[in-house]
Amino acid sequence: MLSKISSRLSNVHRDVWLFVIAIAIIGFAGQIVESTFNNFLSETYKIGGLKRSVLELPRELPGFSVVFVSALLCFLPGRRLAAFAMILQAVGLVLLAFCGSVFSAMLAWLFIMSLGQHLFIALQNSIGMELAHEGQEGRRLGQFSSVRNIASLAGCLLVYVGFKYMHFSFAMSFIIAATTLLVASGCFMGMTPVHAHKKTLHLKLHREYRLFYWLSILFGTRKQIFITFAPWVLVTVFDKPTYTIAWLYILGGVAGIVFQPFLGWMIDRMGERFVLVSEAVTLVFVCLGYGFAKSVFPDGNTAYVIAAVCFVIDMLMISAGMARATYLKKIAIHPSHVAPTLTMGVSIDHVFSIGIAFACGFIWNLFGFQYVFLLGAFIAFANMFSAMRIRIPGKVLKEEEFKSFPPPEND
């Protein structure tokens, strides 16, 4: 048994190992930032719900601009662009650590860090699918996500122990994250570069992918509510400290180690439509739990437990983005369209995620946080009915067949 496992591991391509190391580092560093950032904002600047939503402009604007930045850097193969993205994140984090005490300056450093994060969002799935066998893209993406989750646990644990027992500062946590991201950049530089894409591919919308674009819009609005307002509820409504938020991320990470490979297997076996519809139905209940647990259960502990369970489930559901990526690959006119269209999807979703952040900030201020999540439930319903429209062509072309095609015209 051991010899069989050893043989299989020895046959794994060097690029896969480098990507696994890079993904692990990104999970570790990303979770350090994610676990501390809302408390950093609350404790450093004492901001309220409306100002927190306004802060999403510099944080999410890079997501909109990523398609244009990718076009400008089109001479870089995807794996080299990923290395550059890691450097941007590291620079932004170092500036946040040493020059982030002034709110206006912090916005600029946040923009730099966020640009690096968003450049990598689409690249993660496109590079992951490049390293997968035909028909096993979901399984491979699930494995990579599981690796990232395991590493995220280490990041959460560091935050939990560091802030509870070792008197960590926010600056210290940002520096640790930045240092490790530079190592991830080196891993991407060590991978075999795959050809760069033509500039026009990054800037072109294709009618054939309109459902993918619409699903990206719905994902962007739903994701923004989770990223911005779900932890903000825990921090401000339930008054939970940094190490408690880190503990919830640990729980989500442990669950994700098993759940994400299973989700990848479900994508390959049951299909993208089944997975995305199931995600949407789950999110309806998650949003209602966030918004109304405190109203239904006046006992603060019961309401917090419900909100915390919803938080963990929400973390797991973010992984359903793998299904959108594999869906796009299956309907792609040409393989050269996949990475640029994933990047376009990121930009499109951020146009609407920025808008929803502002809208939800006003809703929170005028009516209360409950109505933010009621809106999230309606978005989940729209996502469910849209995912039902997914149709996969009867024959999925193999990579060799794709290569025999001439390049698409007018690109």
pLDDT at 139: 78
Q: Which residues contact 147 (CB under 8 A, 6 or more apart)?
A: 20, 23, 24, 27
pLDDT for 6 beyond 70? no
Stretch among 45-54, 208-217, 284-293, 352-361 having the lowest mean pLDDT: 45-54
Domains of the chain, residue spans: 11-193+206-392
CATH C-level class of 11-193+206-392: mainly alpha
pLDDT at 317: 87
pLDDT at 163: 85
pLDDT at 404: 42
pLDDT for 406 beyond 50? no
pLDDT for 407 beyond 50? no
pLDDT for 386 beyond 80? yes
Mean pLDDT of the chain: 81
What average pLDDT does the segment 297-302 reach? Answer: 78
What average pLDDT does the segment 144-151 reach? Answer: 85
What average pLDDT does the segment 225-229 reach? Answer: 79
Higher pLDDT, 200 or 281: 281
The tokens describing 228, both together, are: 């911005």
pLDDT tens for 231-276 read 888 887 888 877 787 788 778 878 888 888 888 888 888 888 999 9
Reported confidence tier of residue 382, pLDDT bands at 50, 70, 90: very high
pLDDT at 200: 56
Stretch among 166-170, 339-343, 383-387 having the lowest mean pLDDT: 339-343
pLDDT at 340: 81
pLDDT for 411 beyond 60? no
pLDDT tens for 32-44 read 988 888 778 777 7
Reported confidence tier of residue 49, pLDDT bands at 50, 70, 90: low
pLDDT for 164 beyond 70? yes
pLDDT tens for 72-113 read 777 788 889 999 999 999 999 999 888 877 787 888 888 899
pLDDT at 92: 93
pLDDT for 402 beyond 50? no
What average pLDDT does the segment 139-154 reach? Answer: 84
Counting residues of the chain whose pLDDT is more than 70, the rounded percentage is: 88
